[in-house]
Amino acid sequence: MVKDHLLQLREFLVRYPGYSEEARAYIEQEFSDAIFEYAKPEILAQIYAELGMLDDRENIYKQFSDVVLSKYPAEYNILEVGAGHFPMFAKYVDLRQQQLGTGTITAYDPNLVTRLLGKIKLYKERFTYDTPIDKYDLLVGISPCKATETMLMKAIGSKKEFFIALCGCSHFEARHEKISSTYINWEEYIIEMAFSQKSNDFEVQYELINNFPVISSKKRR
């Protein structure tokens, strides 16, 4: 690991001291090695992206921001659910929206380590069934894990567009105890729920993007 990157990491952790002691210890221990892993842990991938250590093929946050902003209007008011400790996806969207002078991006995550980043509206809290979404046009989740089901139900119930890159984990809760809890069953369950929005008003799509299973919906125009 280049010495300059370790210095950048130290400066980053001073600038953003909101990581828990456990998270900080993990970052410092794995920072030099995880950069070489194909599937980088999210907590580190966000830091690598912020420090400019990822090329475009590795930077899923930049890739997904490009995909979302090509698929949906930039003037949308976007809500990101499960933004992670350092909201890199939201940062890329915010930078583009600022360039265009239109749209907003809001990010929710209980682990956020900053309360100020560009013009992003940051909420250091969990996204729940009670979270208001009336003012948003689009709900986005980049591996939102346990929040996947909640955001999907909220989006469908409120007739909002959504874009979700699935995390690859199974998140069946106790109420699903009669359903096999493998990831395949979870993905099938989520996809079936997503396609329930398909109608004369909405088109729904399932596709692989950057090796992530992605479900998305758009209003028909």
For residue 105, the model assigns a pLDDT of 98
Indicate the pLDDT class of residue 45, thresholds 50, 70 and 90.
Answer: very high
For residue 175, the model assigns a pLDDT of 46
Note the pLDDT tens digit of each residue in 128-155: 999 999 999 999 999 997 889 999 999 9
| 158 close to 216: Cβ distance less than 8 angstroms | no
* Sign of the Cα pseudo-torsion (55, 9, 118, 214, in order): positive
- In whole angstroms, what separates CA 176 from the centre of its chain? 25
Residue 198 has pLDDT above 70, yes or no: yes
Rounded to whole angstroms, how far apart are CA atoms 121 and 119? 6
% pLDDT > 70, the chain: 90
Rounded to whole angstroms, how far apart are CA atoms 14 and 27? 13
CATH architecture for residues 60-219: 3-Layer(aba) Sandwich (3.40)
Domains of the chain, residue spans: 3-50, 60-219
Give the ranges where the chain is alpha helix by DSSP (H): 3-15, 21-34, 42-50, 60-71, 88-100, 147-157, 183-195
Mean pLDDT of the chain: 91
Rounded to whole angstroms, how far apart are CA atoms 189 and 179? 10
* Sign of the Cα pseudo-torsion (192, 193, 199, 205, in order): negative
Note the pLDDT tens digit of each residue in 95-119: 999 999 999 999 999 999 999 999 9
Indicate the pLDDT class of residue 37, thresholds 50, 70 and 90.
Answer: very high
Task: Please state the rounded mean pLDDT for residues 160-176.
Answer: 71
Q: How far is CA 64 from CA 32, 92, 184, 209, in A?
A: 25, 9, 23, 8
Which residues touch 63 (CB under 8 Å, ≥6 apart)?
56, 209, 210
3-state helix, strand, coil in the chain (%, to 5): 40, 20, 45
